[in-house]
Structure 1
Amino acid sequence: MQPITAEIVSRTIIKRPADSHKGNYGRVMLIGGNQNFGGAIIMAATAATYSGAGLVTVATDPSNFTSLHARLPEAMVIDYHQTDTLLNMLTEMDVIIIGPGLGTDTIANQLLTAVIAATHAPQRLVIDGSALTLLAQQPRSLPATDIVVTPHQMEWQRLSGIAIKDQTPTANHDAQKRLGVTAVVKAHRTTVYTDERVWFNPGGTPAMATGGMGDTLAGMIGGFVGQFDDFTEAILSAVYLHSAIADDLAATRYVVLPHQISTRIPTYMHRFSQIERPS
């Protein structure tokens, strides 16, 4: 295993050109947030927006519209029950994030099936939360494009078939290759599995043990892969920065909340973008 390093982050997050516009930094759609779990999709969308995504659209249950607009006026919103509208908009997206707060009912399962069928290269797909449980319950062919799954250990058990006690780097790597995705397996020391190698994240703190932390990471990953070309290094950078911010916050507080991480993402990205690189 190799550690994710600050050097990877500094070579990923670079200064933006002067002639930038929002279309340069990714059109991201997040799909999730049923009537009970609206907070999950709001936290994921917040992280994607604060991570620099150019345009963010949230497809969610209408019960979340007011809260989302109040929390994140930068995001557009659509009713995820209007499948035709959702799929029409999906064709214009660079990144799709599905799963935060989605639930596992019939509507959620139908949405996942439709989104997987409609996604195509070069779009990038982030599968998180409830969508991982649905995928484990009903395996389906995934599109031939860049895909990252972001399970915690129990979700990984369901998806990979490997019991938590047997989740060794070798076993996990074999399962990742079999699934044909990049896997971010969240734990005390999160590991990232690509076809070429296994990476471990050196950061992380018990202060992060609170609901919504994974939703925030999924949003960060979506925001990063929408604007940085190297898919693997964008994922690694999001994983590293997510915990690095939390580690710094935990120096002065007992619990770190997900939205506290999101509000600091632009500052940390700016810091890394200022690092001088060899010419």
Structure 2
Amino acid sequence: MSEITAKILTKVIKKRPSNSHKGNYGRILLIGGNENYGGAIIMAAEAALNSGAGLISVATHPVNLNALHARNPEVMFIDWRDRNLLNLITKMDVIVCGPGLGTNSFAHQMMLTLCQNVSSNQTLVLDANALDLIAQDSKLIPTSAGLIVLTPHQMEWQRLSQIRIPYQTDSANLSALKKIFPTQNVILVLKSNRTHVYTSTNEIFVNTSGNPGMATGGMGDTLAGIIGGFTAQFGGTLDPVLAAIYLHSLAGDKIAETDYVVRPTKISAILPQLMNHYANKG
């Protein structure tokens, strides 16, 4: 087992060259946010924006449009029932699916559509309800993505893996990951007080940052957005995922120096400053 430390940030985060444009830093689509849980996909999108993704689109219920654009006018919107969504899916570098998605028949069909149209040159980040849907129906396991990143908390992993939380050992988690996704390139980000990361090639990492002030709603949505933002601009490989995990918790630790509760939106707010610091150290 290896520890995730600040060294990963200087390895991954680099100064941007002068000759840059938004297309250089990835196209990302976030899918989620039903009538009741629009905040989840908005927080994920804000995290992707503040972690540096170049072009960001959100497919969500139209009830969330005003809140999304009031909060982040830089983010594009598409009604998740729009027939053009299928075409948009095929053009993305990274797709984040699950925050606030729900588990009804519409959400099931959305996951099925995604699985049928994702390609080998795309990274797929699956969080929250997307994982619950896979736990209910194995036909929703994507098989064509270049990289799949799973971001469950321990109860979501219990539902997906059938391993009860007290028995989620490293060996059990690796075995379950390879059983559920036998042929895919997969990274499991198992969120807890010390998040563990497992890969389909048997690597195990443990995060060394984070604090109990981060135990609040929306924290996982924010992490999914940062992972999406990092893989969009730094590539769909292990190191950007590890860097996103560490930066998320590092930001939480900075806020916890003065705040008893760490709000996810505050984490997103300080990401650009932290990234600038580590880009200049590299």
Q: TM-score, normalised by structure 1?
A: 0.97
Residue 62 of structure 2: aligned partner: 62
SS in 1 for 2:49: helix
- For 1:129 and 1:172, how far apart are their aligned partners in 2? 18
RMSD between superposed Cα atoms in Å: 0.9
Residue 98 of structure 1: aligned partner: 97
Q: CA shift at 1:81, angstroms? A: 1.5
- For 1:9 and 1:159, how far apart are their aligned partners in 2? 31
1:18-40: CA deviation from partner (whole Å, max 9, x where unpaired): 11110010100000000000000
Q: CA shift at 1:159, angstroms? A: 1.0
What pairs with 1:1-279 in structure 2 (closer than 5 Å)?
1-82=1-82, 84-140=83-139, 141-144=141-144, 145-178=146-179, 179=181, 180=184, 181-194=186-199, 195-229=201-235, 231-276=237-282
* AA matched with 2:151: T
- Alignment size in residue pairs: 275
Q: CA shift at 1:6, angstroms? A: 1.1
For structure 1, the residue ranges without an aligned partner over 5 or more in a row are none
* AA matched with 1:253: D
Q: CA shift at 1:142, angstroms? A: 1.7
Q: TM-score, normalised by structure 2?
A: 0.96
| Percent of aligned positions that are identical | 52
Q: CA shift at 1:230, angstroms? A: 5.5
- For 2:13 and 2:202, how far apart are their aligned partners in 1? 22
- For 1:131 and 1:241, how far apart are their aligned partners in 2? 24
* AA matched with 1:172: N
Q: CA shift at 1:177, angstroms? A: 2.4
- For 1:22 and 1:102, how far apart are their aligned partners in 2? 27
Residue 147 of structure 2 contacts residue 236 of structure 2 at CA under 8 Å; is this kept in 1? no
* AA matched with 1:104: T
Q: CA shift at 1:196, angstroms? A: 3.7
1:172-214: CA deviation from partner (whole Å, max 9, x where unpaired): 1122223242100000100110124100001111100110000
For structure 2, the residue ranges without an aligned partner over 5 or more in a row are none
Q: Which runs of 4 or more aligned residues in structure 1 lie more than 4 Å from their structure 2 counterparts after TM superposition?
A: none
- For 2:202 and 2:172, how far apart are their aligned partners in 1? 15
